Amino acid sequence: MKVSGRKTGSALSHAPDSWYAVDWRRVERNVRGMQIRIAKATREGNWRRVKALQRMLTRTLSAKLYAVRRVTQNQGARTAGVDRELWDSPESRWEAIGRLKRRGYRPLPLRRVFIPKANGKERPLGIPTMRDRAMQALYLLALEPVSESTSDPNSYGFRLNRSTADAMSQIFLLTCRSVSSQWVLEADIKGCFDHINHEWLENNVPMDREILRKWLKAGLIYKGQLQATEAGTPQGGIISPTLANVTLNGLERELIAHLGAKFGVAKAKKLKVNVVRYADDFVITGDSQEVLKSEVRPWVEAFLAVRGLQLSEEKTRVTHIDHGFDFLGWNFRKYSGTLLIKPSKKNAQAFYRKVVETISGNKTVKQEDLIRLLNPMLRGWAQYHSPVVAKQAYTRMEYLVYQRLWRWSKRRHPNKNADWVRKKYFHTVGERNWVFGAPVVRDDGSKGLLELYQISGTTIRRHKKIKGDFNPFDPMWERYGEQLRQERLWESMRYRKQWASLYMSQSGLCAHCGCPLTDETGWHDHHLEYRMHGGSDGLSNRVLLHPHCHQQVHVGNIAVAKPVLS
């Protein structure tokens, strides 16, 4: 592939000649520099400059490299589109960069697949080809600084450094006091991703209009038949969540402005109307049922109608905080004036069904393998609910899982008595009895016990909410964003103590390229001196690297030094 040697504001000064020759730290610096300029022009309202900078960014080598890396290192990298093509080698990734051109670009139809939802129904996904995914990732680099700079302060879904826990914390702040809002409008948009008006998107999304139209009208293939796409943005495209966010941006700001214009600023504040949104799910608090029903809901319906959307009649209702409501897997309810947030019954039941299916579907596997399947599930569910009042739910879930595992153990040995089964599969660890665990041999040759994750041992810890005005593309927020990213990734590693220690010792940066380690990039555990050459498994001989950096180190036989903290 030929790479132009021309220099631009965000071009590589020394163009690499292969995938493993890329200086990813320079790539990331170049892309971020351009994104900061786009965000600045957006805040200043200079849309002509925004458009020019976006065009410049999508044509740079750095942005194309970044886009290809993003779509080849995420979870969907092993899922092909209708062309059945995967970029699973350095050569195919390097060649792909030359194919990311606007001129002559024509996306292929999406591959329609269905995945099960928690309620038993199926969610339709549209899987683009690798090339179309990379093109979406490329144009997303130019769109994201604009969408972040124009988003509502209390929009938390599919945005950098924002999470469901931030939305939960904001609802807590709005409803926890005795003088807080007492009524909540639980809103549910009917098939949001499937019904967004294409014409509205083309006229209002600040990106290359021709490219956007091609994506929206690409069609999809299901059971060998080509189907046209007349509305909506498909779930499965890397840019789709941002398009949905752009569609719903203004719901909070414009509603507050509308109430202020109608009732006056002082009276509007007394209505205590506030919006908290996560992607297409949102709740609106208010001081009275009448205001939410007669004033807020009609305005929201009109706001959505312009975009081709409507509220679900069955799922949209106004609820008093004393009766409680479910949002993002939690139940919010006041008990004798005290707000308690707990895991919702629906969420716990859906998770338990998933655990039961895993245990039932693995009746003949080794105990060690079953534990390795269950532990990430149990840990993930427990950590998700760790910022709320979850101890009772933890204890209940742990008991239900224990019952299932006891049945799984007894079924394997129908001719043995209960005491024999207990001694084989359950152990005593310290003061804990009936610990489901399997004897294993560690890397250093010593014997140990692989235990099932203890849900009830998860620490309940209050979540520190992100500041509403945070903009990841504003240099003023740079230090805050770095600290927030490191704190949150460390939290997710807290129960994997060795990874957490390595992460903190490296200041959250890859030991090879120096770029941030994130949930999206992932990481690999690298031994400085290979174990086959006598290297130990101790922390002093290990570092965390990006997956691509890990490959680069091994292929190029590159020596990596242990980071030294100043």
Tell me whether residue 216 is exposed, middle or buried, using C-beta atoms within 10 angstroms of its C-beta: 0 to 12, 13 to 18, 19 or more.
Answer: buried
**Quick check: helix, strand or coil at residue 337?**
coil
Q: Which residues pair with 319 in a beta bridge?
A: 184
223 shares its domain with 366: no
Strands 183-188 and 281-286: antiparallel
443 shares its domain with 545: no
Domain boundary among 323, 340, 357: 340
Question: Would you state the torsion angle of the CA atoms of residues 147, 153, 154, 160, taken in this order, to the nearest 10 degrees?
Answer: 50
397 shares its domain with 283: no
253 shares its domain with 350: no
Residue 534 forms part of a structural domain: yes
Residue 92 forms part of a structural domain: yes
Residue 14 forms part of a structural domain: no
For residue 404, the model assigns a pLDDT of 97
Domain boundary among 299, 320, 340: 340
For residue 6, the model assigns a pLDDT of 41
The count of structural domains within the chain is 4
125 shares its domain with 155: no
Distances (CA, A) of 244 to 15, 198, 319, 472: 36, 12, 26, 19
For residue 417, the model assigns a pLDDT of 95
For the domain that residue 530 is a member of, what is the CATH number? Answer: 1.10.30
Domain boundary among 422, 457, 492: 457
For the domain that residue 307 is a member of, what is the CATH number? Answer: 3.30.70
Q: Which residues of 56-65 are buried (b: 16+ CB within 10 A; e: fewer)?
A: bbbbbbbbbb
Domain extent, residue 354, equals 345-457
- Terminal CA-CA length for the chain: 41
378 shares its domain with 423: yes
Residue whose tokens read 């080598």: 61
44 shares its domain with 94: yes
For residue 7, the model assigns a pLDDT of 42
351 shares its domain with 275: no
For residue 495, the model assigns a pLDDT of 60
C-alpha span between 73 and 352 (Å, rounded) = 30
Per-residue pLDDT of the chain (566 residues; tens, 9 = 90+): 444 444 444 456 567 888 888 888 899 999 999 999 999 999 999 999 999 999 999 999 999 999 999 999 877 778 888 889 999 888 999 999 999 999 999 999 999 888 777 666 777 788 899 999 999 999 999 999 999 999 999 999 999 889 999 999 999 999 999 999 999 999 989 888 888 999 999 999 999 999 999 999 998 888 888 888 888 787 778 999 999 999 999 999 999 999 999 999 999 999 999 999 999 999 999 999 999 999 999 999 999 999 999 999 888 999 999 999 999 999 999 999 999 999 999 999 999 999 999 999 999 999 999 999 999 999 999 999 999 999 999 999 999 999 999 999 999 999 999 999 999 999 999 889 999 999 988 766 678 899 999 999 999 999 999 999 999 999 999 999 888 888 887 777 766 767 778 888 888 888 888 888 887 777 888 888 876 666 776 777 888 888 878 878 887 778 888 776 54
For residue 559, the model assigns a pLDDT of 80
Is the backbone of residue 324 left (phi > 0), alpha (psi -120 to 50) or beta?
left
C-alpha span between 70 and 521 (Å, rounded) = 8
Distances (CA, A) of 157 to 129, 151, 167: 25, 11, 9
Distances (CA, A) of 216 to 174, 201, 211, 362: 38, 9, 9, 41
297 shares its domain with 168: yes
219 shares its domain with 123: yes
Q: Which residues of 147-157 are buried (b: 16+ CB within 10 A; e: fewer)?
A: bbbbbbebbbb
Q: Which residues of 342-380 are buried (b: 16+ CB within 10 A; e: fewer)?
A: bbbeebbebbbeebeeebeeeeeeebeebbeebeeebbe
**Quick check: helix, strand or coil at residue 274?**
strand
Strand-by-strand arrangement of the 110-116 sheet: 122-127, 110-116, 220-222, 225-227
Residue 388 forms part of a structural domain: yes
72 shares its domain with 219: yes
131 shares its domain with 54: yes
Residue 470 forms part of a structural domain: no
Residue 564 forms part of a structural domain: no
Residue 466 forms part of a structural domain: no
Residue 236 forms part of a structural domain: no
Task: Flag whether the pTM goes above 0.75.
Answer: yes
Angle at 399 between CA 395 and CA 402, to 5 degrees: 135
Q: Which two tokens stand for residue 391?
A: 């101890």
